[in-house]
A and B are shown apart, each in its own frame.
Chain A
Amino acid sequence: MLRVEDTEQAPVEFSAALIAKFDDIKSRYPEGKQKSALLPILHETQAEFGWLSAPSMDKVAAYLDILPIEVYEVATFYTMYFMRPQGKYVLEVCRTGPCCLVGAEKIMDYIEQQLGVKEGEVTPDGLFSWRGVECLAACGFGPVLQIGPEYTFYENLTTQSVDTLIADLKAKANN
């Protein structure tokens, strides 16, 4: 249960470009089956705003002509949708068996230490959060992590490559 006062729930506006994307997605399904567009549309909405606030989900519901609760039900079921604001970059590290065989747990500890925040928290500069996620289907190249919204992959992680990655992202954000 999300409490409204927990997070800012400011009204949102969908740009014409975003609506155009929605229209394109909606055209993939038969007449009357527009609810099928819900998952891809939530991805687009999250890519735009960084997370899914209740007002943004309500707008999606209105766009697809479904009940708001239908959107909440779906958004909370799937792990990729953020119900709270996150860092600009969310480092999602695979924590499932095969990656653990090759050191994923150490990488997670290292990231926690480097970023100085616990799993799910946001760094004070707002740049990073991190979390363990389940199998990313890249077991042969573990440990792996991914960063949304395009879910770029970083494979065969070492503490050095994590250092480089964090430095690169910081530089990118400051430019």
Chain B
Amino acid sequence: MGRKLLLEHINVPGINTLEVYRQKGGYAAVEKALKTLTPDEVVEEVKKSGLRGRGGAGFPTGMKWSFLAKPEGVPRYLVCNADESEPGTFKDRYLMTYIPHLLIEGMIVASYALGANTSYIYVRGEMMPQIRILERAIAEAKNAGLLGKNILGTGYDLELYVQPGGGAYICGEETALLESLEGKRGNPRIKPPFPAIAGLYGCPTVVNNVESIAAVVPIINEGGDEYAKIGIGRSTGTKLISASGNLNKPGVYEIELGVPVEEFIYSDEYCGGIANGKRLKAVVAGGSSVPILPANLILKTINNEARLMSYESLSDGGFATGSMMGSGGFIAFDEDQCIVRNTWNFSRFYHHESCGQCSPCREGTGWMEKVLHRLEYGHGKMSDMDLLVDVSKKIEGNTICPLGDAAAWPVASAIRHFRDEFEWHVTNAAEATTRNYGLAHYADPLPKVEKAEA
């Protein structure tokens, strides 16, 4: 059994209440940080822990904190990104639903470390039940003197508010989130300046994912060095993985980073194998934006080493044969799933969610969706695959925010690994509308290393 730092008490009845949460050792990190550590020491612990942002980009959290500008007389803000909308990811909803005080405790410690006296949790609007849960939990914490003026008699003041979004994936991008929090359209800002210099209301701001903030609690309780011992290499600590798709036991799992992918999919501790006795065809390992991999490449790297659930191992092989950890949205596809249809579905998602501000993403996402739609419905052409790859390249890297890349990668990777299935949709167009291509060779042993494309 791997260690559980965030979800250890998730099944304790009443853990969503302050009383039970405190009985289980809750708010010890607040006591420790506010009473025994200086803000800089808290930042130092987080740096030592090696914690990497859990929202998708994987940027070291401690380093992000240390970039925060601290001009005299200007307020600083901590904003928690709870706009979880990446298809395949549902860990933050889970955490906020069942153990809201963990997030609030993390917010207090992190706000203290950053010197913020007002902090916001930006929750996507669809999560209205979670917003109510958090609001209740905040009221409880405030009654107990854990929020508000002079917290625990330490002289530190913090007001914490929950802000609902309005329904827009793009608000998961940190500058779009800040725009939205300012009551505007969720158009990402042009960077620089980065939020650490000019964020919310033009003030220095840190934006962190729910899970990153929650992870600060065990880091302070156990110490950054202890946290860093868990995991493998630069992938330290534990990570929440949202497992979905055709699995026996989909759900949210806390893993120690470095668990083999094969164990994660097939062991009874985690997903318990593929549902209905089917075989695994493909996996999207980190939320819909990351490259999709066929079964053989997700289980083993191109060098025939077991692939691990870690930032490094998942990205082993680069874009040619690897993927990414992303937000930990692990989507499994069984042999009956159609990759073309799924790629079209994801493409439709990005088309729908593009903010429309910059031209490559606004126009390109719609173009890709239309071509994929035509392929899926039997009207495609052989040249469509090259066209899609070319359009995806014209979007990738040329946009204001990473949504362009997120829209381009799933399409490019699906064509890279499943080209024969796309071509079959053209050559056998009528058949393709009635049945799926099936498993083909995607689960076969890996080709020899030298055959790998650069």
Contacts and interface: CB of A to CB of B under 8 A. Distances in A.
Asked whether the complex places CB atoms of A and B closer than 8 A, the reply is yes
Interface stretch (A3-11, A76-84, A116-124, A158-166): A76-84
A127 interface: no
B123 to A, nearest CB: 11
A35 B329 CA distance: 34
B183 A37 contact: yes
Interface stretch (A14-22, A107-115, A138-146, A167-175): A138-146
B236 interface: no
Contacts of B341: 100
B254 interface: no
Given A73-B185, A135-B349, A140-B250, A39 B166 contact: yes
A97 interface: yes
Contacts, number: 154
B285 to A, nearest CB: 13
Given A38-B183, A96-B87, A140 B251 contact: yes
B127 to A, nearest CB: 7
B125 interface: yes
B208 interface: no
A88 interface: no
Q: Give chain B's interface residue range (CB within 8 Å of chain A).
A: 35 or more
In this complex, the member of B126, B184, B243, B337 whose beta carbon has the largest number of chain A beta carbons within 10 angstroms is B126
A137 B97 CA distance: 12
Contact of A100 (B167, B284, B345): B345
Interface stretch (B16-24, B157-165, B419-427): B157-165
A79 B168 contact: yes
Given A135-B86, A153-B129, A140 B252 contact: yes
B118 interface: yes
B61 interface: no
Nearest to B336: A101
Interface string B1-37: 0000000000000000000000000000000000000
B126 A96 contact: no
Contacts of A100: 341-342, 345
A137 B167 contact: no
Interface stretch (B88-96, B190-198, B365-373, B439-447): B88-96
A85 interface: no
Contacts of A135: 85-88, 169, 288, 349
Given A77-B186, A97-B288, A138 B166 contact: no
B346 interface: yes
A42 interface: yes
A102 B166 contact: no
Interface string A64-96: 101000100110011111000000000000011
B167 A79 contact: yes
B183 A39 contact: yes
A45 to B, nearest CB: 12
Contacts of A148: 128
Contacts of B346: 96-97
A150 interface: yes
B64 to A, nearest CB: 23
B372 to A, nearest CB: 13
B181 interface: yes
In this complex, the member of B90, B92, B183 whose beta carbon has the largest number of chain A beta carbons within 10 angstroms is B183
A55 interface: no
A134 interface: yes
Nearest to A73: B185
Contacts of A39: 125, 163-166, 180, 183
A67 B86 CA distance: 33
A160 to B, nearest CB: 19
Given A96-B349, A140-B243, A101 B333 contact: yes
Contact of B250 (A40, A133, A134, A141): A141
B52 interface: no
Given A137-B84, A150-B128, A151-B128, A43 B164 contact: yes
B413 interface: no
Interface of A: 28, 30, 33, 35-40, 42-43, 64, 66, 70, 73-74, 77-81, 95-98, 100-102, 133-142, 146, 148-153
28 contacts: A36-B163, A43-B125, A43-B164, A70-B184, A78-B167, A78-B168, A81-B167, A96-B345, A96-B346, A97-B87, A100-B342, A101-B244, A101-B246, A133-B167, A134-B87, A134-B349, A134-B352, A134-B353, A137-B85, A137-B86, A137-B127, A138-B90, A140-B251, A141-B250, A142-B244, A146-B126, A151-B125, A151-B128
Which 7 pairs across A and B sit closest by C-beta, in order of nearness? Answer: A78-B166, A139-B244, A80-B167, A38-B183, A35-B183, A79-B167, A140-B250
